[in-house]
Chain A
């Protein structure tokens, strides 16, 4: 029989016992909805986590430091040390890094411990310069106040814990000024430049300076969590403003020892931001090839992906349980249909239907129930995810927390849910279809 005629007959048969078949289809829909809703929560959570991590710059950022060729330092040497001096991480290197393919931006890690005066009281903290791109990092979502008005503004955003140290009511700090006291590094002109003009004998002096900063925001997250002992920064300021301070940093002493204390600034570390986390690995290798140390948190990202895959699988298994029950419903419905349509099957065979025609007819009926159940199920699953998200957000709102998008039904989940429903329904139709095909036509025609 032609496919169109098979489908036509199957639809007609399904319409005949419309209530029973509709209930069976609804069973499939509930099963698919449960599966889709579960997976949508898994996908939603994964997307939420990935978005936050991606926005934070942790997974698309490579941290570049000069190669450390100091022997000893109480740590075992992991690589063969060269006698050549390590390549300085200076402006020239920064420009070279910027030219690498798939690099969005390269900015220095400016971070220094200093003293802040507020209401004439001193407070010690770590200050960090934030690039303008961190505006979209997600770390500043829900902050009190605003982000920096410009890249060179004399403005500060305080981390909430530090703000609490300054005032009992952190919100009252907004619009207030504080004084940043820092040590400015000034190069000492070399007194005795030798014949070859070697400036290596120079050094720098440290001049105490002050800068007024206007507090424009208070943030609850830690946008500048520390790496490798730099400590968490609690006072954030525009990167450009921070870099013009020429504040003495931890690497300055090392630069003197290496004879690099002239006016050419060198960075203790640079952050190289890639276009996407997938390009980080290749970029990291290129940077290492340039003679710098480079590391990223890509490995942590991979572990996270593995975690979510396992998490999604578990959700999928739980979601599939309802679909498994629905499968039994399909088997039951089709076996009942065989009993009811026994005589009809006999007539079809007497008129020339082959066993395979009868088998296909029941198969198509199962497939149609799966297809319709799948469509309805995907829609119900999406709705269920929305309802859960809505309920969660109502709860979060009551807890004074920001709303989240807990569930997500991407295209692949819709199509996958539908295909899965059809496959499962066809599998459920295997036994009834085979049983119908094997019916003896003479017995079937005698059946009352």
Chain B
């Protein structure tokens, strides 16, 4: 990996859950460095801990042990309010099920992060239109998510994730609910946006072929452990 200050750095990160008497090690002693501007795919079977790791990087959850640094911020030491600010300003998230609010128009959905960041109304309108243009859905600005196809909804979710100009885009199975052609189109769009905006992308997926085509780096997880990290051309064991 290049010799630049990392966008995300995980050091011996663990996340354990108590389930009755037993303890589940969802993430177990993971160390990983993601350089800025990289496109990292987190691969693994269901229950391997990749989504849990993504949630930890997103600041939606806190590790049981270890440290997570994201653009110089130690997430472990941030208060709940500071973590909310981190989610608002540093990261953008897209999900498998899009998670758009059905009663709001596309414009209002994309505007939500800007409202949370207390951006002024005129500025909000400009940024919403810009984000929708980037995902080529400006003509559907007044529509509701239910009037859109799955691929279009995911494009709206991408626009919402990018409207606050985050440094890191976290995608949790973004193609999981889409057919292969649409999924490919979404990843092509993500790649285009990354080149245009220069953010780091960490994507959880179980579709290795797609990951190999679009990601720069592949990290494979199994049973909560990081099994390997490799460039997209060649995977090597950790």
Contact = CB atoms under 8 A, between A and B. Distances in A.
Is A bound to B?
yes
Interface of A: 1-2, 5, 9, 12, 16, 343-344, 346-357, 441-442, 445
A350 B84 contact: no
B87 A350 contact: yes
Given A347-B101, A350-B99, A352-B113, 20 more contacts: A1-B116, A9-B115, A12-B103, A350-B60, A351-B87, A351-B116, A352-B85, A352-B87, A352-B88, A352-B89, A352-B116, A352-B164, A353-B84, A354-B80, A354-B84, A354-B85, A355-B80, A442-B55, A442-B61, A445-B95
Interface in B102-119: 103-104, 112-113, 115-118
B103 A351 contact: no
B225 interface: no
Interface of B: 55, 58, 60-61, 80-81, 84-85, 87-89, 93, 95, 99, 101, 103-104, 112-113, 115-118, 160, 164
A156 to B, nearest CB: 79
A178 to B, nearest CB: 85
A382 B117 CA distance: 44
Contact of A352 (B55, B103, B104, B117): B117
Contacts of B80: 354-355
Contacts of A2: 115, 118
B74 to A, nearest CB: 19
B96 to A, nearest CB: 10
Nearest to A352: B88
A348 B93 CA distance: 11
B112 A348 contact: yes
Contacts of A442: 55, 60-61
Please report whether the interface of chain B is mostly helix, strand, loop or mixed according to DSSP: helix
B115 A343 contact: no
A349 B60 contact: yes
A348 B111 CA distance: 12
Nearest to B51: A442
Given A356-B81, A442-B60, A351 B113 contact: yes
B55 A349 contact: no
A311 B165 CA distance: 63
A29 B226 CA distance: 59
Contacts of B85: 352, 354
Nearest to A344: B101
B99 A445 contact: yes
A16 B87 contact: no
A347 B60 contact: no
A414 B113 CA distance: 39
15 contacts: A1-B118, A343-B99, A347-B101, A349-B84, A349-B87, A351-B88, A351-B113, A351-B116, A352-B164, A354-B85, A355-B80, A355-B81, A355-B84, A356-B81, A442-B61
Contacts of B101: 344, 347
Residue among A344, A351, A354, A442 with the most chain B CB within 10 A?
A: A351
B115 A1 contact: yes
Nearest to B85: A352
Contact of A354 (B58, B81, B104, B113): B81
B115 to A, nearest CB: 4
Nearest to A444: B60
B199 to A, nearest CB: 16
Task: Enumerate the 6 nearest inter-chain pairs by beta-carbon distance, A residue then B residue, closest first.
Answer: A352-B88, A354-B84, A352-B87, A5-B115, A351-B113, A352-B116
Contacts of B60: 349-350, 441-442
A343 B102 CA distance: 11
A73 B164 CA distance: 98
